[in-house]
Chain A
C-alpha cells in the first residue's frame, strides 16, 4: 500500500517577496487531523467595534430566549444567520464610566472596552491595560504567522486630544499590548494585503513603485509553487485551492479599483490613495482579508475598529450628510434618531454580509463561522446619554460548536462585559484566572 506524505499546515506558496499561506486542505488531514474532526478546527476570536452607541430601541429583541419571528430593525440583516448569533443584554463596562474623571465618555469607553481597566485621563501620559485579545495572542500566537491583527477603517492617529483631555490613543485603538502600548490599526488595504502576503518586510518606496508600474498579482509570483502543489492534490483540494486563490485575486482587484478611484470623500477633499471612498467597499476589502487570514490560519485573533470612537463621519453613501457623533446627541428628536438607526443598520448590513461569507467557507464538517467567536458591539449603549450599562453585544459564531445560537441572553444588571471575555479566553484555550473587572464567567452562552 502506498501512502502519500501529508501536506504541512504551514505550507506556503513562495515567490519573489511573496508568501501565501494555504487554507485547510484534505491533504493536510493526516498532519492536521483537526480539520476532519468537527469542533476541533482552530477557534478564532474577533472584536468588531462600532462607535457612538446604538439606537437600542431597534437593537434588543423584546423577550429573552429564542429570537422572535421578526428581528429588531438593526438586526434584520442578520436574519439569514439567526441561528448563528446571540444578543447579550445588561453587560456593563464600569471602567468606561466617569469614576470621578468628568467628561470624556468616548475616550474612556473605547480605552476600557477590551482592557477592562479605567483609562488614565491624559492626552500624553496614556495608561489603560493589556487587552483580552492580546492576552490570547500572547498565549496562542506561536501557532499562527501573526499572533493578532488590528484593523480599522477611519483614523489611526495616536497623538493629540480626541475627547475632553483623553488621548486619541484611547479613541483610535482597541488592542493594547501593555497598559501603555496600544496597537494602532492598519487602515490602508494595500498595507494590510502586503502584511498578509508579503515576507514580513515592508517594500521600499522604489520597490513598491516598480511593482505598481508592472502591476502583477501576487499569484503571478507563486505560479511555479502553485502548479507544483496542484499536481499533488486531489480534485476536491484543487477546487478548494482554486476558490481560495480566486478570493485573493478578487481582493487584489478591489485594491486596484480603490487605487484608481479618484473620487472625493468630502466635498473639496481628495481621498487618501488606495482607500476606497465608499465605506461599504472599504469594509468589504478589510473583512475579506480577515476572512483569508482566518481561512489560511494566518491569525486567529483580530480586532476591527470599524470607525473611531466619537467619530463625526458622515454617511453620504446612504444620504446622511450629518456627522455620526452629533446625530447621536439627538435629544429625542425623531428625525435625528432615525438617521442614527440608519447608520446602525448600514454598519450591520456590512457585518452580516461578512458573516455570511464566513459561513459559506467549509472547514471539515463545519464552517469558519461555527469555529469563530466574533463580538460586534459598542462601548456605549445610548449615545445620547452616554450610558455604559446594557451595552449592545452580539456574539456571532459558535466558538467551535460550543455556543448555542439564536437567543437573547439577559444577564443581571452590572454584570461586567469582562465576564464574556473570560469565557471567550477559555474557548481559545487560554485559562486566565482573572481579567479586568470580571466577577466570573458568562457561562449562559454555552450549549445547555
Chain B
C-alpha cells in the first residue's frame, strides 16, 4: 500500500507468465523477488496463462518462500497476493517442475511447500487482478514483465478504461518472447521491449549454480523445480531472466536496442558483457529472502525529483474514523 507523504515507492512490477512451461520462468520469478528484496522494485501482481491450478500454486509457493521480501499488496494490509490464472476451457497438463515441487513431502509426510490454491476460486481473475494492481500505482511507476503468451495482457488491454490506465501507469512492458510482444503491438499502449531470441540462448543458467548457490536453503522451490524439469545436470536458457533484468536495469551497458517496429523494440545483449549478466542472474536469483521491510518503505527515488508531498488535508471537523 502506498501513501502520499511517504515519497514515491520503488517501481511496481506486474509479472505475467505461463509458469510451468519452462524452468527459466521460475528462475525469472526468483530473480524478480531478488530485486524486490533489494528494494529496487515491488512485486505487485503475479499471474499465469498456463491454465492449471498447479501453475498458480507454484507461483504462490515462490511468493510465500520470499514472504519476507514480497511487497505490500495493492489492497489491504496483511493479505497475501492472490495469483491470477487464465481459465478458459480445459486445464493444461501438469509438468514435472510443478508437480514435483508441489508433491514434495518432508520426513513426516507433510508437504514441504504450502499454498492455498486448491480450487479455481482460490485464484484471481487475471484481467481484474492486473487492472486493479495498476490502479494502485503512481503515474509511470509500474513495469509489466511478460514471460509467456500475451493472453492475459490482451484481456487487460481490452477492458473498458484500461488503455488510459496503462498509458498513465506503465512505463514499459518487457516480453521475453518476440511473438508475444508483436501480438501486443498496437493493442498495449505503453512502449514494448522484446528480448531477442539470441539473448536467451547466448547466456545459459548453469546447473552448477543451482547445486551451489541455492544450497543455503534445504528446500528451495525454484531449485527443486529446476532439478525436476529435466535430468540434471543441464543448463537452462534465460530469455525470461533477461526480460526481468532488462525491465529492472534498462540503462545497463549490457543492452542495445533495435529500431522500433510499431511500439516494439528488440533488446539485444552485448556479447562482451555476458559474464556480467550471468553473474547478476545467479546473485539475485539465489539471494536469500530479506525480512519484510517496515510498512512504510523509505523512498528509493531521488527525493529531489519525487513528487511534492500532497497538501495537508483541511482540519477534520470531527475525529477521523481511521
| Interface residues in chain A, defined as those with a beta carbon under 8 Å from any beta carbon in chain B | 64, 89-90, 92, 94-95, 97-107, 118, 121, 123, 160-165, 310, 325, 382, 385-389, 410-416, 434, 437, 439
Nearest-CB distance from B168 to chain A (Å)? 12
Report B-chain residues with C-beta under 8 Å of the C-beta of A164. Answer: 313, 316, 320-322
B4 at the interface (CB under 8 A from A): yes
Q: Is B79 an interface residue (CB 8 A)?
A: yes
Contact B121 A90 (CB under 8 A): yes
Is B317's CB under 8 angstroms from A161's CB?
Answer: yes
Please tell me if B75 contacts chain A, counting CB pairs below 8 Å. Answer: yes
Knowing A90-B121, A412-B123 are in contact, say whether A387-B79 is a contact too (CB < 8 A): yes
Contact: A94 with B322, CB < 8 Å? Answer: no
**Chain B contacts with A in 12-62, Cβ cutoff 8 A:** none
* Contact, CB under 8 Å: A165 / B313: yes
Chain B residues, CB < 8 A from A439: 125, 127-128, 131, 159
Which of A102, A412, A415 lies at the interface centre, i.e. has the most chain B CB atoms within 10 A of its CB? A412
Selected from B124, B317, B321, the residue in CB contact (under 8 A) with A310 is: B321
Contacting pair B74 A92 (CB below 8 A):
no
The answer to whether B256 has its CB under 8 Å from any CB of chain A is no
B76 near A99: Cβ-Cβ < 8 Å:
no
How far apart are the CA atoms of A259 and B160 in the complex, in Å?
Answer: 50
Of all chain B residues, the one with the shortest Cβ separation from A433 is B160
- Cα A413 to Cα B82 with chains together (Å): 7
Instruction: Report the separation of the CA atoms of residues A434 and B124 in the bound assembly, to the nearest whole angstrom.
Output: 21
Further pairs besides A118-B135, A163-B320, A439-B159: 11, Cβ < 8 Å: A89-B121, A97-B135, A99-B136, A100-B4, A100-B138, A102-B5, A104-B321, A164-B321, A325-B321, A412-B87, A434-B160
Answer whether A415 and B128 are a contact pair too, CB < 8 Å, given A160-B317, A161-B317, A164-B316.
Answer: yes
B1 within 8 A of A: yes
B322–A104 touching, CB < 8 Å: yes
Given A163-B322, A164-B322, A411-B121, the answer on whether A94 and B317 have CB atoms closer than 8 Å is no
Binary contact readout B70-101 vs A (1 if CB under 8 angstroms, 0 otherwise): 00001111110010100100000000000000
A161 touching B318, Cβ below 8 Å: yes
Once A100-B4, A100-B136, A388-B75 are accepted as A-B contacts, the answer to whether A414 and B124 lie under 8 Å apart by CB is yes
Q: What are 24 residue pairs bridging A and B, where the CB atoms are less than 8 Å apart in the complex?
A: A92-B132, A97-B76, A97-B135, A98-B2, A98-B3, A99-B74, A100-B2, A103-B320, A118-B135, A121-B313, A160-B318, A164-B313, A385-B77, A387-B75, A389-B76, A412-B121, A412-B123, A412-B125, A413-B82, A413-B125, A414-B125, A415-B125, A415-B128, A439-B128
Contact (A389, B322) CB under 8 Å given A123-B314, A165-B314, A439-B125: no
Q: Closest residue to A159 on the B side, CB-wise?
A: B317
* Contact for A103 among B121, B125, B129, B322, CB less than 8 A: B322
A380 to B94 CA separation, bound complex (whole angstroms):
37
Q: Which of B124, B127, B313 has the most CB of A within 10 A?
A: B313
* A162 neighbours in B (Cβ, 8 Å): 318, 321
Residues of B within 8 A of A389 (CB): 75-76, 79
| B122 at interface by CB-CB < 8 Å | yes
Cα-based distance from A99 to B76 in the complex (angstroms): 10
Give the Cβ gap from A92 to chain B, nearest Cβ, in Å.
Answer: 7
The CA-CA distance from A118 to B135 in the complex, in Å, is 10
Determine if B306 is an interface residue (Cβ-Cβ < 8 Å).
no
Beta-carbon nearest neighbor of B139 in chain A: A100
User: In the bound complex, how far is the Cα of B75 from the Cα of A105, in angstroms?
Assistant: 11
